[in-house]
Structure formats: C-alpha cells, structure tokens
Amino acid sequence: MTIAAKDLVPADIPERFANIDTSPYRFFTAEAWSHFRADTPLTLTMDEVKRLRSLNDPVDLDEVRRIYLSLSRLLSAHVESSQLLFEQRKQFLDLPDETKTPFVIGIAGSVAVGKSTTARILQELLSRWPTSPKVDLVTTDGFLYPNAVLKRENMMDRKGFPESYDIGRLLRFLSAIKAGQPNVRAPTYSHLTYDVLPDTFRIIDRPDILIFEGINVLQSRDLPADGKIIPMVSDFFDFSIYIDAEESLIHTWYVNRFMRLRETAFKNPESYFKRYAEISEADALEIAEGLWRDINLKNLHRNILPTRPRADLILQKGPNHLTETVALRKL
C-alpha cells in the first residue's frame, strides 16, 4: 500500500517538534502509522484491553490496531536485530557460552498521560509474538525513597522529581539486568498507601524483554569533571518511547483522574488519600488544581519535558486521549 505524503508529514505537526525539514524524526499520522502493522494479528480482546488500561484512559481495540500493533512489530524487529548482532559479536569474540542480555525498553512522559496503559499493552502484545518471548514490566515507583525518608528530608512535595528516587538502587537494578544476572529484585510500590512496600520485591529473572516505565527515565545528569563513569538510566535502554500531549490536555486529564479517584480508590479505608473522598467536590477540585500547579506542572517543565528529544519514538496524543501523531527517530 502506498502512503500519501500528507500522511507521512501531516500539516498540523505541533510546533514543539521543531522544523520538519531538519528534525531527526519522521512523522506519521495515526492512519499512516496503522499501515505498518502489515499482517500482525490482533491477539488481544476488548476485555483484556479494559483490564490493561488505566482509569480515564479510553484506549480500545481500534487504538490497539491503529497504534500498538505497528509499534509491537517495530519493537520486535529491533529485538530480532539485537539478537542477530549479539550472535555475530559472539562469533567475532569467540565466546560460545555467552548469553544474550535483556532488551530494555524505556517509557517516559508526564503523569496522567497514559504511560502505564502503553507499557501494559506492549507487554501483552510482545509476549504473544510467535517466538513467545518472556516480557517483564517494572515501574520506577518502587525506587522512590520511602515516605519516611522524604518527610525527613522535606521532599514530600517533590515526590516524583529526580531527587526523590534512590538513583543508586535504580542503577544497580538496571546494571544487574543488563549483566544478565538471574533473580534480580525489584522493589514494589503501593498506590493505595502511596509508599514503597518494605521488604516486598518482584523477582525479575532474565527476561527477553524488560519494559521500564517512569516519568523521569530519560533524565540526564551532570557529568563529572574528572571523567569518572556515572551512568544514566537511559544508558541501559535499547529503545525509548515518550508519551506526549499538549500541556493543557495533561492538566485536564490529571484533574479529571483525581476527581474520578475520589469516587473509587480514595474511598478505600486503607487509602493514603482517603481524606480527599470526604471533602466537598469544590474543595477537592481546588486541591487537584494545586497539586497540578505546584508539583506536577513544575516537574513537567523542569525534568520531564526536556527529556522528550532523547526518545527514539514519540506518541503524540490528542484531546480524546488517543494517539494522533507518531514521531520515529531516523536511523
């Protein structure tokens, strides 16, 4: 099938993607992107999609067909190419006992933009490819410092900012994964209690693919003057995705999600946010707006949005929370 030029380079590409002629990305409308699925079968049901999607995320089977089947096909091609290169290098170095380390996919983007839905859908689709790869998913939430530490250091209002993560622990985890070590422990996090669960871990045992999802996973850091090796989280990624949308849309999605949670999860007696379910709607809306303005918007401007140009692929969402444009870095 021939794809029209207008579909390859849409006229309404957001200005923030810079000049198309000099951009390192190729741009596709969702319709043009959907053609790249080729004969990739749809292996998910609507019930499964409902289970995988996050609150207030309207992704459905049509969105899986339009965006995620092509994306899973592209990622599978990258995984297969990596495996081929590994075999060639193993022969070159004469290392017959060498084993391939996991292919790591990083997923970044603001709060409320749909990272978790994307990560879970890709995990399911990739694990159902004919080769039946083992695909694990880990989020950065478990690598946050416990609330007790954040309170002691007066950082609760910067939870989710780069300094609120135990970066040493996070880097040791990814180093062990990329070293091919077995039974690597990933700390876990409870959104109910809004805290890291003490002495509770998931075991990640040499998957073929690891999806690593979090708002700041593409964050860079200052380099030392003495040239010592200080890795960045993204140094361990083989492919990276940034979920993007206009700031005004993310604002609306965040506030709407907060208000929906008042009627659902916040009503749980164990919820850290139970107090927000017990106040008036007007007071809750004021709190949601304050949390967005004073915490999440600042984090977006200072730490998250500046990492977007580092991604290999950008999914640009529209007002309906569905992908409108795909930007793929040129090779």
Side chain identity, residue 130: P
> What predicted TM-score, i.e. pTM, was given to this entire model?
0.93
Predicted pLDDT at 56? 83
| Residue 220: predicted pLDDT | 85
Of the candidates 169, 170, 183, 182, the one whose C-alpha atom is nearest the C-alpha of residue 217 is 170
Cβ(225)–Cβ(297) below 8 Å: no
User: What pLDDT, on the 0 to 100 scale, is given for residue 223?
Assistant: 76
Distance CA 313, CA 74 (A): 11
Cα 65 to Cα 77: distance, rounded to the nearest angstrom:
18
> Can you list the residues of the chain whose pLDDT is less than 70?
1-21
pLDDT at residue number 276: 94
C-alpha 230/C-alpha 224 separation (Å) is 8
8 Å CB contact between 287 and 217? no
pLDDT of residue 226: 82
Mean pLDDT of the chain: 92
| CA atoms of 208 and 197, how far apart (whole Å) | 27
* Residue 18 exposure: Cα atoms within 13 Å on the Cβ side: 9
Where exactly are the structural domains of the chain?
30-219+230-329
Residue the block writes with tokens 């039974």: 183
Joined together, the tokens standing for residue 289 give 């707006």
Yes or no: say if 247 and 109 are a contact pair by the CB < 8 Å rule: no
Q: How far apart are CA 49 and CA 33, in angstroms?
A: 20
CATH of domain 30-219+230-329: 3.40.50.300
